[in-house]
Amino acid sequence: MECCLCEDYPRTGKPLFMEDTIVAISTAPGESAIGIVRLSGPKALKIADKIFISKEKKKPSSFKNRTIHYGWISDRGGRKKSLSDKIIDEALLSVMRAPATYTREDIVEINCHGGVLALKKTLELTLRQGARLAQPGEFTKRAFLNGRIDLAQAEAVLDVIRAKTELGLGTALGQLRGKLSKRITKIRNILIEVLANLEVSFDFSQEETEALNSRQITRSLKMVKRNLEELIKSAEGGCILREGVMTVICGKPNVGKSSLMNTFLKEDKVIVTPIAGTTRDIIEDIINIEGIPIRIVDTAGIIEPRDLVEREGVARSKKYLNKANLILFLLDNSRPLSAEDLQIIDSIKGKSIIVVINKIDLKTRLNLKKIEDFLKGKRIVKICATREKGIPGLESNIKKHILGGKVKMDAESAVVTNLRHKKALEKSLEFIKASIKNLKERKGEELIAEDIKEALRSIGCIIGEVAPEEILDKIFGEFCIGK
């Protein structure tokens, strides 16, 4: 049945590049205790034989599977020379044989010292012996093409690497373990069964197909519809966990934006002085508020610029305000409302805003009557950034504002965290709705079957049953080279 869905299966046959043995440095650049050079492919062990001298004088190809051995990386070129003359590094070499490996190919990992030169020379040596430098994400791409993981799980690998909070990590790990894939597969199986029943009717007359249970088909399609809607709804919180929420701190100069930024970060990252205009550029970092990654941004005070630098700072502030998911608009409790405050209010009307009244430890001179209309329906939080008063309440309000009481954050269930997945689900849902409508109106089985096939194509893109090469290139191009 599945063969009718799409001829472009990425795992059909073996692409020519899969015959290569690839290599990459799989640890972060720079000095460290350990650096890893990873080989994967049919010649991984042969290349290891040529460059590694074990203490027991055995070749890596003779090592038992899943063992690690001490020795030296040597540029002997297969010739008998003095070992000390050609030693590149002291190393530990791991052997993992197909198919029970990350890529389902033979893998050799060389644990070198983490110096830049030792790693570079080891990498160059493997290249001279016939390996090819891996493309970004090619190890994980091979794991997908060799059927060890599906495409949703492959994307989850990157989410695990980039996770910024424990909740985000838990969600990514759930997807890596196949929670989303199992839910998608269940939906696909229901649709394939429905499609099979419909296609049986193509070969029989109207009288002979009276037994076709249209009620059962309708129930199945409505079940699929509910499942798709639940997954799409989960994307509201899932995409927040994956991408974070851009939250911009704005206000006039000296209102306490940088102090609030430092309080959020729990470090003095931003210079704070009584001089107006100290912050002239954008400062951005990630904070964790009860599991939600917040991309917090400190902006330059929005004022009439006095010079070229201030003009650029104000321009960047306005650019970030336009992109912000949430704005923390700071007002100074110790100063009356000014023309600058009102100017900022005009520029952020219509945005998602929490009004933050800072410096509550000082005498109140702020009168909010002028901006009563602006404040209607907005959360108002009072704080003292320098003394960390009211910060827990502000963080709680940020979370409530972002989730809106609707989005459920749950790492234990299948959660859609990827915009690509969400779009595929929405497209599939459109076809399912159309098929239910056509079934109700007693349209031809051929038309209903075509809608279901299109729905299958759409959700098939999520797990890689349907995955054109350009989609794979885009997905794996976001990975680092060693993964």
Q: Report residue 406's pLDDT band, with 50, 70 and 90 as the boundaries.
A: low
Residue 304 has pLDDT above 80, yes or no: no
Q: Mean of the pLDDT values across residues 242-246? A: 86
* Residue 385 shares a structural domain with residue 311: yes
3-state class (DSSP) for residue 344: helix
For 12, which DSSP code?
S
Instruction: Classify residue 88: in a domain, yes or no.
Output: yes
Indicate the length of the chain as a whole number. 483
In which domain, by residue range, is 228 found? 155-240+418-463
Per-residue pLDDT tens over the stretch 142-179 = 999 999 999 999 999 999 998 888 888 888 999 999 99
Assess contact for 47 and 19: CB atoms under 8 A: no
Residue 276 has pLDDT above 50, yes or no: no
Q: What is the CATH number of the domain that holds 276?
A: 3.40.50.300
* Residue 40 shares a structural domain with residue 113: yes
Residue 293 has pLDDT above 60, yes or no: yes
Q: How large a percentage of the chain has pLDDT more than 90? A: 52
**Number of domains the chain contains:** 3
Q: Report residue 420's pLDDT band, with 50, 70 and 90 as the boundaries.
A: very high
Residue 195 has pLDDT above 50, yes or no: yes
Q: How much is the pLDDT for 480? A: 87
Q: Report residue 1's pLDDT band, with 50, 70 and 90 as the boundaries.
A: very low
Q: How much is the pLDDT for 258? A: 85
* Residue 285 shares a structural domain with residue 187: no
Q: How much is the pLDDT for 68? A: 96
Q: How much is the pLDDT for 163? A: 87
Per-residue pLDDT tens over the stretch 23-72 = 999 998 888 899 999 999 999 999 999 999 999 889 999 999 999 999 99
Tell me phi and psi for residue 92, to 5 degrees.
Answer: -115, 130
Instruction: Classify residue 408: in a domain, yes or no.
Output: no
Q: How much is the pLDDT for 3? A: 33
Sequence-separated (6 or more) residues with CB below 8 Å from residue 318: 302, 347
- What is the 3-class SS of 67-88, one letter each residue? EEEEEEEECCCCCCCCHHHHEE
* Residue 162 shares a structural domain with residue 82: no
16 vs 184, more confident: 184
* Residue 286 shares a structural domain with residue 179: no
Which residue has tokens 């350009």?
Answer: 470
HSE-CB for 324 with a 13 A CA cutoff: 28
Q: Report residue 4's pLDDT band, with 50, 70 and 90 as the boundaries.
A: very low
Q: Report residue 283's pLDDT band, with 50, 70 and 90 as the boundaries.
A: confident
**Distance between CA 348 and CA 354 in Å, rounded?**
11
Per-residue pLDDT tens over the stretch 116-140 = 999 999 999 999 999 999 999 999 9
Q: How much is the pLDDT for 32? A: 87
Instruction: Classify residue 479: in a domain, yes or no.
Output: no
**Distance between CA 383 and CA 368 in Å, rounded?**
16
Q: How many CB atoms lie within 10 A of CB 193?
A: 14
Q: How large a percentage of the chain has pLDDT more than 70? A: 84
Q: How far is CA 132 from CA 248, 414, 481, in A?
A: 44, 37, 12
Instruction: Classify residue 469: in a domain, yes or no.
Output: no
Beta strand spans in 348-429 (E): 353-358, 379-382
477 vs 209, more confident: 477
Q: How much is the pLDDT for 166? A: 86
* Residue 26 shares a structural domain with residue 126: yes
Sequence-separated (6 or more) residues with CB below 8 Å from residue 206: none
* Residue 297 shares a structural domain with residue 357: yes
Q: How much is the pLDDT for 273? A: 43
Q: How much is the pLDDT for 2? A: 34
Q: How much is the pLDDT for 412? A: 67
426 vs 266, more confident: 426
Q: What is the CATH number of the domain that holds 166?
A: 1.20.120.430
pTM equals 0.80
Assess contact for 194 and 207: CB atoms under 8 A: no
Q: How much is the pLDDT for 411? A: 61
For residue 99, is the peptide bond before it cis, meaning its omega torsion is within 30 degrees of 0? yes
Instruction: Classify residue 141: in a domain, yes or no.
Output: yes
* Residue 320 shares a structural domain with residue 457: no
Q: How much is the pLDDT for 414? A: 83
Q: Report residue 202's pLDDT band, with 50, 70 and 90 as the boundaries.
A: low
Diameter of the chain by CA atoms? Answer: 89
Q: How much is the pLDDT for 212? A: 52
Instruction: Classify residue 379: in a domain, yes or no.
Output: yes
Tell me phi and psi for residue 249, to 5 degrees.
Answer: -90, 125
**Distance between CA 356 and CA 360 in Å, rounded?**
10
* Residue 44 shares a structural domain with residue 163: no
Q: Mean of the pLDDT values across residues 271-281? A: 45
* Residue 399 shares a structural domain with residue 261: yes
**Distance between CA 468 and CA 457 in Å, rounded?**
12
Which residue has tokens 């000014």?
Answer: 338
Q: Mean of the pLDDT values across residues 183-212? A: 74
Instruction: Classify residue 412: in a domain, yes or no.
Output: no
Assess contact for 305 and 346: CB atoms under 8 A: no
Instruction: Out of 82, 116, 148, pick the residue that ends a domain.
Output: 148
Which residue has tokens 């976001």?
Answer: 478
Q: How much is the pLDDT for 197? A: 80
Assess contact for 126 and 23: CB atoms under 8 A: yes
Per-residue pLDDT tens over the stretch 361-386 = 999 999 999 898 999 989 999 999 99
Instruction: Out of 148, 179, 198, pick the residue that ends a domain.
Output: 148
Sequence-separated (6 or more) residues with CB below 8 Å from residue 261: 249, 269, 270, 283, 285, 296, 298
Residue 345 has pLDDT above 70, yes or no: yes
Q: Mean of the pLDDT values across residues 176-197? A: 93
* Residue 272 shares a structural domain with residue 322: yes
Residue 116 in tokens: 């830049």
Q: What is the CATH number of the domain that holds 47?
A: 3.30.1360.120
HSE-CB for 448 with a 13 A CA cutoff: 25
* Residue 384 shares a structural domain with residue 442: no
Residue 270 has pLDDT above 70, yes or no: no
Beta bridge partners of 69: 93
Mean pLDDT for the chain overall: 85
Instruction: Classify residue 473: in a domain, yes or no.
Output: no
Instruction: Out of 403, 430, 453, pick the residue that ends a domain.
Output: 403
271 vs 147, more confident: 147
